[in-house]
Amino acid sequence: MLVMAVRLARYVPKHKRSQWASRRDPLANRPCWIALAGCVACTTLGCGSSGNAAKDSAINLVRVVTELRMADNSSKRAPLEQLRGLSFNNDRIPADEGVALGETRDACVSAFDHHVRGVEIGTDLRSRMAGDAASESLESKAAMLLEMNMEIEEGKRLMPLCDERVSVLRKHHRI
């Protein structure tokens, strides 16, 4: 855009350029200033291409997934809800990009949801074990332990799909 503005400024007749320059006007190169103002206005108003919106959404998705991975097990619920809340139904994002972003989000939400539920069940089981041991039967605690293991194993099983889709996004958008 800026290159086009500079090229347009070249087409101003030389006698007009010399008149502007002779006045010592700070806006002597008016075509350049007008083009620069147009570029700034277009950038701030969001007139960019839809590829930029898709890349920004991909960067945001990768950032949230990274935060979720780096969070402690006890504090993964908030980043998981943030990931679940991401939406890609935007007019500025092409439909195929939105679908790919949504599938990546869904794969990661599914994997981490099982993991977080397993960790929460484990925390609940630990607190019950530390409490009054006679209040609950051994079978109910064993069932909780089995459920916790099943949730964590399901999360482990689904995690490679999340990793693969995030990797594809990173390569596609060069993040």
> Any idea which of 6-15, 49-58, 159-168 has the lowest mean pLDDT?
6-15
Closest by CA to 39, choosing from 79, 78, 3, 82, is 3
Q: Which two tokens stand for residue 46?
A: 């969001």
Instruction: Show the tokens assigned to 148.
Output: 């916790």
The pair of structure tokens assigned to 47 is: 């007139």
Chain centroid to Cα 117, Å, comes to 23
CA nearest neighbour of 116 among 159, 145, 73, 156: 73
pTM over 0.75? The answer is no
Render pLDDT for 39-54 as a digit per residue (tens, 0 to 9). 555 555 455 455 588 8
**Mean pLDDT (whole number) for 141-160:** 95
Mean pLDDT of the chain: 81
Instruction: Give me the residue spans of the domains in the chain.
Output: 2-45, 50-173
